[in-house]
Amino acid sequence: MRKIIIAGNWKMNNTISQAQDLIAGLTKNGGDMHKVEVIVAPPFTALRSVYDILGQSSVHVAAQNLFWEESGAYTGEVSAMMIKEAGCKWVIIGHSERRQLFGETDETVNKRARAALASGLKPIVCIGETLEEREGGRTYDVLHRQLDGGLNGLSAENMAKVTIAYEPVWAIGTGKTATSAQAQEAHEKIRAKLSSMFGQGVADKVRILYGGSMKPSNALELLSQPDVDGGLIGGASLNAHDFVEIIKAGIEAEKL
């Protein structure tokens, strides 16, 4: 059975003191958080501070990005070893905002994933289609292309450490909402593609997170779908109560 992941992506939110307050609220009210795999991804400036508060708890820390070189003249970039030393076990790669706003491509996603794996980090590789692509009937062409490019050259052994996050870009902050059936269909297609790339045994073990505006009101329905193995949470992860409610939904879904 695949253990559910509830990952909070804070994006460019929270100063160090605000991050400390949010983690305090999360750990105070989290209860049985250890029953699912909980991850938080603060901005770079707060990574170490959050890690120091969490200590040896079951909650892990992720970075929101990394660069593929170990060091050098790359002003503004952060390497895998830098974020690992800050306490990270995970890293988000290829988020839709990185692709749309900062020009990241399937090729650079692949370079980042390789660098993460080489350093012992676990990458959460994000894929997803825009509204134009969905309405044009190109959803699965886009997802397949992103998987082919982003996972190019990775081995079955590598894939044991990789998590996929499906982000329907058209359902994030637009007022449009993907149904649980739409989420399940996309996740099922992604798993089928992974099977064709790495074999069914590997595909069955890869966890696929849903990243399309999951919140307390829809979390349990989404997490109860057979191919939805967790959530990559944006806005709701910035509120300790809401994030805890989603974690509770994950715990309930584990029982199904």
Q: Read off the pLDDT of residues 76-90 as tens digits, 9 standing for 90 and up.
A: 999 999 999 999 999
Q: What is the model's pLDDT at position 175? A: 66
- Give the model confidence (pLDDT) of 230-243 as tens digits: 999 999 999 999 99
Domain spans in the chain, listed from the N-terminal domain onward: 5-255
- Catalytic annotation on 135? no
- Give the model confidence (pLDDT) of 82-121 as tens digits: 999 999 999 999 999 999 999 999 999 999 999 999 999 9
Q: Which of 189, 158, 48, 163 has the alpha carbon at shortest distance from 95?
A: 163
- Catalytic annotation on 95? yes
What is the residue type of 222? Answer: L
Q: Using CA atoms, how far apart are residues 163 and 159, in angstroms rounded to an integer?
A: 8
- Give the model confidence (pLDDT) of 122-145 as tens digits: 999 999 999 999 999 999 999 999
Kindly tell me if the per-residue pLDDT of 30 is higher than 90: no
- Give the model confidence (pLDDT) of 195-210 as tens digits: 999 999 999 999 999 9
Considering 95, 129, 187, 245, which one is annotated as catalytic?
Answer: 95
Considering 37, 129, 133, 167, which one is annotated as catalytic?
Answer: 167
Tell me what the pLDDT averaged over the chain comes to. 95
E runs forming strands in the chain: 5-9, 37-41, 60-63, 88-93, 122-127, 163-166, 208-210, 230-233
Dump the DSSP string for 146-214.
HHHHHTTT--HHHHTT-EEEE--GGGSSSS----HHHHHHHHHHHHHHHHHHH-HHHHHHS-EEE-S--
Q: Using CA atoms, how far apart are residues 191 and 7, in angstroms rounded to an integer?
A: 20
- The pTM of the full predicted model, rounded to 2 decimals, is 0.97
5-255, superfamily in CATH? Aldolase class I (3.20.20.70)
